Amino acid sequence: MKFLLFTLFGIVQFLSLASGKSIPKNKFSHKSLKEMKEEIAGYEDVAESLINLAVYGKAKNRSYERLSYFIDTVGPRLSGSKNLDRAIEIMYKNLQQNGLDSVHLEPVKIPHWERGEESAVMLVPRLHKMAILGLGSSIGTPPEGITAEVLVVTSFDELQRRSPEAKGKIVVFNQPFVSYAITVQYRTHGAVEAAKVGALASLIRSVASFSVYSPHTGNQEYQDDVPKIPTACITVEDAEMLTRLASYGKTIVIQLKMGAKTYPDTVSFNTVAEITGDKYPDQIVLVSGHLDSWDVGQGALDDGGGSFISWEALSLIKDLGLRPKRTLRLVLWTAEEQGGIGALQYYRLHKGNISNYSLVMESDAGTFLPTGLQFSGSERARDIMKEIMGLLKHLNVTKVFTGGEGTDINFWIQAGVPGASLSNDLFKYFTFHHTYGDTMTVMNPKQMNVAAAVWSVVAYVVADLEEMLPRT
Ligand SMILES: *[C@@H]1O[C@H](CO)[C@@H](O)[C@H](O)[C@H]1NC(C)=O
Ligand SMILES: *[C@@H]1O[C@H](CO)[C@@H](O)[C@H](O)[C@H]1NC(C)=O
Ligand SMILES: *[C@@H]1O[C@H](CO)[C@@H](O)[C@H](O)[C@H]1NC(C)=O
Ligand SMILES: *[C@@H]1O[C@H](CO)[C@@H](O)[C@H](O)[C@H]1NC(C)=O
Ligand SMILES: [Zn+2]
């Protein structure tokens, strides 16, 4: 009943939006492409100034230097951890000291899971200590561990076909890496699928583009009606070896020990700062990254880099004394890694103002040398973005791709707001993603300078255009 009411309300709201009743005239751009081209050409000097400041001028290397100091002194920032609390406190102060407007924290309850001690040892056919990382939200094993025979499969289909063999075993998934979006399904749902056919635990081949014997952690999801079993990721190397051992007809026995525990939810915050618009302050261009990370490595790549180029975008604009017509809002999300918890809270709280959001941006796929902008939106909006990216010709980063995305902005994109992210070297990104190797060593100051320049030009120009990006 409640659902039906909401649905009816939604339809009425949609109809009134569609008929333009609740939208001020001229709010969403209706200009011709020629008129837009002329307007955007007027930003060439501003774009040059932002680029010069970020790449060659006094802000050169600043996002890298700010990030390295922050990362080295705070460390990894797992949801529910003291480190994450400290990170938020420090960023709050940093943003205030930077003189940004309306610096504030928006509270949200987030999960608190800790991995504890963990190990996996292959006992049969030979003794082999395996590198593992428990998956976020996994339960632990009993203290003596789970010792069981192994069933190795390469897909959910194979697991279905061989389901009678799975009972009482540890299921190992050795799925090949196709793309993150496709392959991550095994990490997210492997434990549930294995438990459905009676497995005692599941081990998942790390979702990685490249491996030097590095396990990659990440979140996983239980299902209410399926027994919870412990689950961890193993290295690509071990997953492939287990497949080979099975093909030789060998019996494999593994002992898995995991001390993982889930504690009650804790209070955390989305960290927000603005450059308030001087003509349409209620209208928003949102620029973002997530401040939380996994507990291994330093969370430099995921997503320290995205958070710090997003802050840098506002810093650069402020350094030049610019104030766009609409508000540029920086959001540093909390608990993204646990499934976009902070972002979902923000969406629930702010979606009433959705008709005033021109563009949502998130950098959460690397801050290496960008190859362009990934953009989701209407064809008319895309044409405008192409013109804006043309302002970056001196950096040779002018391409507009499809598929603007980010866990934290997807709520808005799905509801029809144009969304943008940086196109990056994903092979490199998924080499280090969610591992002990996610440290400052993989970051590059010159690449961050360019990423920050692109981010600031896009954010500033969209925030300063006379009209909002069109939605149709
Ligand atoms: C910026 O970083 C690059 C690469 O590490 C370095 O060569 C250069 O000296 C740095 N420039 C400044 C101004 O710090
Ligand atoms: C929505 O916008 C109105 C005015 O445009 C503002 O007063 C209000 O605080 C906004 N609400 C949220 C949740 O941002
Ligand atoms: C959108 O912003 C306008 C001002 O630009 C304001 O009058 C209006 O209340 C806002 N609408 C919503 C839904 O936030
Ligand atoms: C510009 O970027 C493209 C890839 O987007 C690359 O192939 C080309 O070599 C670059 N040109 C220059 C001058 O850097
Ligand atoms: Zn991330």
Report the pLDDT averaged over residues 416-426: 97
What is the maximum span of the chain, computed from C-alpha positions, in angstroms? Answer: 74
Q: Are residues 201 and 301 in the same domain?
A: no
- Give the span between the Cα atoms of 438 and 278, in whole angstroms: 39
Q: What is the pLDDT of residue 3?
A: 33
In a domain, 122, yes or no: yes
In a domain, 10, yes or no: no
Q: Are residues 92 and 217 in the same domain?
A: no
Q: Would you state the torsion angle of the CA atoms of residues 19, 21, 25, 28, taken in this order, to the nearest 10 degrees?
A: -50
* Residue 143 CA, ligand 5 centroid: distance in Å: 32
Q: Are residues 181 and 329 in the same domain?
A: no
Q: What is the pLDDT of residue 10?
A: 38
In a domain, 12, yes or no: no
In a domain, 13, yes or no: no
Report the pLDDT averaged over residues 308-323: 98
Distances 378 to 29, 286, 415 between C-alpha atoms, Å: 12, 18, 13
Residue list, ligand 1 pocket, CB within 6 Å: 60-61, 445-446
In a domain, 1, yes or no: no
pLDDT bin (cut points 50, 70, 90) of residue 30 is confident
* Residue 396 CA, ligand 4 centroid: distance in Å: 6
Ligand 1, atom 13: closest residue by C-alpha: 60
Could you tell me the two tokens for 72? 């080295």
Q: How many CB atoms lie within 10 A of CB 266?
A: 15
Q: How many CB atoms lie within 10 A of CB 432?
A: 24
The pocket of ion ligand 5, defined by CB under 5 A, consists of: 302-303, 364
Q: Are residues 169 and 255 in the same domain?
A: yes
Residue 78 belongs to domain with CATH number:
3.40.630.10
**Beta bridge pairs of residue 203:** 172, 232
The fraction of the chain above a pLDDT of 90, given in percent, is 93
Atom of ligand 2 lying closest to residue 349 CA? 13
* Residue 362 CA, ligand 1 centroid: distance in Å: 26
Residue 17 has pLDDT above 90, yes or no: no
> What is the per-residue pLDDT across 66-89, written as a single tens digit (0 to 9) for each?
999 999 999 999 999 999 999 999
Atom of ligand 2 lying closest to residue 282 CA? 5
Q: What is the pLDDT of residue 19?
A: 39
pLDDT bin (cut points 50, 70, 90) of residue 24 is low
Residue list, ligand 2 pocket, CB within 6 Å: 282, 349-350, 353
Report the pLDDT averaged over residues 23-32: 72
Q: Given 259, 282, 299, which residue is the final one in a domain?
A: 259
Q: What is the pLDDT of residue 29?
A: 82
- Give the span between the Cα atoms of 86 and 264, in whole angstroms: 19
Please state the pTM of the whole predicted model: 0.93
Ligand 4, atom 6: closest residue by C-alpha: 396
In a domain, 7, yes or no: no
Residue 149 belongs to domain with CATH number:
3.50.30.30
**DSSP classification of residue 53:** I
Ligand 4, atom 14: closest residue by C-alpha: 396
292: left (phi over 0), alpha (psi -120 to 50) or beta: beta
Report the pLDDT averaged over residues 205-214: 98
Q: Are residues 122 and 205 in the same domain?
A: yes
Domain enclosing residue 359, as ranges: 22-110+264-464
How many domains does one find in the chain? 2
Q: Are residues 80 and 201 in the same domain?
A: no
DSSP string of 218-284, one letter each residue: -B----TTS----EEEE-HHHHHHHHHHHHTT---EEEEEE--EEEEEEEEEEEEEEE--SSEEEEE
- Give residues with Cβ within 8 angstroms of 410, minimum separation 6: 340, 419
Q: Are residues 268 and 391 in the same domain?
A: yes
- Give the span between the Cα atoms of 172 and 451, in whole angstroms: 39
Q: What is the pLDDT of residue 28?
A: 86
In a domain, 254, yes or no: yes
Q: What is the pLDDT of residue 27?
A: 83
Q: Are residues 375 and 273 in the same domain?
A: yes
Q: Are residues 299 and 320 in the same domain?
A: yes
Atom of ligand 3 lying closest to residue 354 CA? 13
Q: Are 296 and 435 in contact, with CB atoms under 8 Å apart?
A: yes
| Average pLDDT score, the chain | 94
Q: Are residues 133 and 91 in the same domain?
A: no
The fraction of the chain above a pLDDT of 70, given in percent, is 94
Q: Given 234, 259, 284, which residue is the final one in a domain?
A: 259
Name the closest ligand to CA 401. 4
Q: Are residues 228 and 281 in the same domain?
A: no
- Give residues with Cβ within 8 angstroms of 396, minimum separation 6: none
Q: In what order do the strands lie in the sheet with 128-130?
A: 128-130, 118-124, 253-258, 146-153, 170-173, 201-205, 231-234, 132-134
Atom of ligand 4 lying closest to residue 371 CA? 5
pLDDT bin (cut points 50, 70, 90) of residue 5 is very low
Residue 134 has pLDDT above 70, yes or no: yes
Q: Are 358 and 314 in contact, with CB atoms under 8 Å apart?
A: no
Q: Are residues 229 and 283 in the same domain?
A: no
Distances 241 to 123, 151, 172, 205 between C-alpha atoms, Å: 14, 13, 11, 11
Q: Given 259, 283, 307, which residue is the final one in a domain?
A: 259
| Ligand 2 pocket mutation pick from 282, 347, 412 by most atoms within 8 angstroms of CB | 282
Report the pLDDT averaged over residues 319-323: 98
* Residue 315 CA, ligand 5 centroid: distance in Å: 22
Q: What is the pLDDT of residue 7?
A: 36
In a domain, 233, yes or no: yes
DSSP string of 143-169, one letter each residue: TT-EEEEEEEESSHHHHHHTGGGTTTS
